[in-house]
Structures are given as structure tokens and as C-alpha cells.
């Protein structure tokens, strides 16, 4: 659907079952063209005659739009599209252009026969680390992001990417952890 447009987007935190989903799950999309993306998404959903609630959320994470799709003839949310268009809510991020830079590195990937734009491995890991770092104090379930990073970078073929990941943290944030402290954090999960 979005691949038929010129919308600049990337999916992040994709589930292993994508494009299948669990009721009330969400699909996380980052873009620098939120209005265009939401308009296209709503037009596509309208073809399926599903009930949609489009609302701007300005809670703990500003700069996002939620589009909720409801089960037929129900008030129960079936699927949520979480569309983020700025990372300004992540106060440790010091590079205001990071989202544009990360979007420029997105590439097409086929996941279970669905073609989508995804972030580079390092950008995906960095985005997960930012979410973990900012939300772990209030949302303990965000430990899943640290576990994903650990499983991806520690003792795997991707472990060669560890230095690149650490460099992205130090280059784009004001997080005052040394490489050794970040590695210890990753190994502690």
C-alpha cells in the first residue's frame, strides 16, 4: 500500500509474524510526511470499509498520530498504526536530523511475502535503545528492546556491528555511558 506512493517511511519493531498480527497489536511507522501517510492509510482502509478512529496523541510521546482500526461491528480495537514523525520526545537525542538520516538509509525488504521499507540494522537497534532508555523507568516491558539488541549483537554474526551501534549512541545522544557500561547493560538482560 505505502510502496505505491512516494511517502518516505520505515517500519520499526516489526513482529516475527508480520504481516499477520495479534488483535490490539500495533504497527510502528516512522515518517517525515505524517499527513500524507495518514491520508494514504485512511484511503486504503476505507476500501475495506473498516471503522477507523484517527486521533492525534500528545501524551508521553509527542509528535505521533495513532490510527486505530476497529473490529467489524465492535468498539474493540483490532489494529493500531502508531505513526511517529519526530523523535523530539526522546530528550537524550541530540541530533534533530536523525529521523531524516535514518529514513534515508531505509531499504525494501520482503518479510513473509510482504514488501516493506525497513530501517538499517544499526538504526533499528538504535531506535529500540532510545525507547528502552527513555521508557524503562515507567514501562518495564520495554526491556524487550534491550533483549532484542542483546540477541542481535552479542555472540552472533552481527556482533561485528557492536562498535558501529555504540558509535551511533555516542554521536547522536547525550547518554553518559561508556562503551563498557553499555555492553555490560546488554549482557545483563
pLDDT tens-digit profile of 73-89?
777 777 888 899 999 88
Q: Could you give the CA distance from residue 130 to residue 152 in angstroms, rounded to a whole number?
A: 16
Query: Mean pLDDT in the chain?
Result: 85
Least confident of 1-5, 103-107, 109-113, 122-126: 1-5
Residue-level pLDDT at 3: 65
Average pLDDT over residues 61-65: 73
> What is the 3-class SS of the chain, one letter each residue?
CHHHCCCCEEEECCCCCCCCCCCCEEEEEEECCHHHHHHHHHHHHHHCCCCEEEEEECCCCCCEEEEEEECCCCCCEEEEEEEECCCCCCCCECCCCHHHHHHHCCEEEEECCEEEEECCHHHHHHHHHHHHHHHCCCCHHHHHHHHHHHHHHCCCHHHHHHHHHHHHHHHHECCCCCHHHHHHHHHCC
Across residues 52-71, what is the average pLDDT?
Answer: 63
Q: What is the pLDDT of residue 60?
A: 45
Closest CA to 139 of 127, 131, 147: 131
Q: What is the mean pLDDT of residues 90-116?
A: 91
Q: Per-residue pLDDT tens for 24-34?
A: 788 899 999 98
- Domain residues of the chain, as ranges? 1-119, 121-189
Average pLDDT over residues 41-47: 78
Asked if pLDDT for residue 154 goes beyond 60, the answer is yes
Q: Are 65 and 38 in contact (CB under 8 A)?
A: yes
pTM as predicted:
0.86
Q: Using alpha carbons, list the distances in angstroms from residue 129 to 71, 104, 149.
A: 33, 20, 8
Amino acid at each position: 500500500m505505502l510502496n505505491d506512493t512516494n511517502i518516505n517511511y520505515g517500519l520499526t519493531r516489526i513482529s516475527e509474524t508480520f504481516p499477520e498480527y495479534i488483535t490490539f497489536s500495533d504497527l510502528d511507522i516512522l515518517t517525515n510526511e505524517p499527513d500524507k501517510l495518514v491520508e494514504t492509510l485512511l484511503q486504503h482502509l476505507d476500501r475495506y470499509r473498516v471503522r477507523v478512529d484517527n486521533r492525534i496523541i500528545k501524551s508521553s510521546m509527542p509528535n505521533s498520530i495513532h490510527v486505530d482500526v476497529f473490529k467489524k461491528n465492535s468498539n474493540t480495537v483490532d489494529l493500531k498504526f502508531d505513526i511517529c514523525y519526530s523523535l523530539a520526545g526522546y530528550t537524550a537525542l541530540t541530533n534533530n536530523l536523525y529521523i531524516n538520516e535514518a529514513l534515508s538509509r531505509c531499504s525494501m525488504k520482503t518479510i513473509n511475502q510482504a514488501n516493506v521499507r525497513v530501517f538499517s540494522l544499526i538504526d533499528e537497534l538504535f531506535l529500540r535503545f532510545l525507547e528502552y532508555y527513555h521508557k524503562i523507568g515507567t514501562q518495564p516491558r520495554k526491556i524487550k528492546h534491550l533483549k532484542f539488541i542483546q540477541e542481535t549483537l552479542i555472540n552472533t554474526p552481527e556482533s561485528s556491528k557492536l562498535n558501529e551501534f555504540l558509535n551511533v549512541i555516542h554521536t547522536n545522544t547525550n547518554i553518559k555511558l561508556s562503551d563498557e557500561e553499555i555492553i555490560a547493560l546488554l549482557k545483563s538482560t
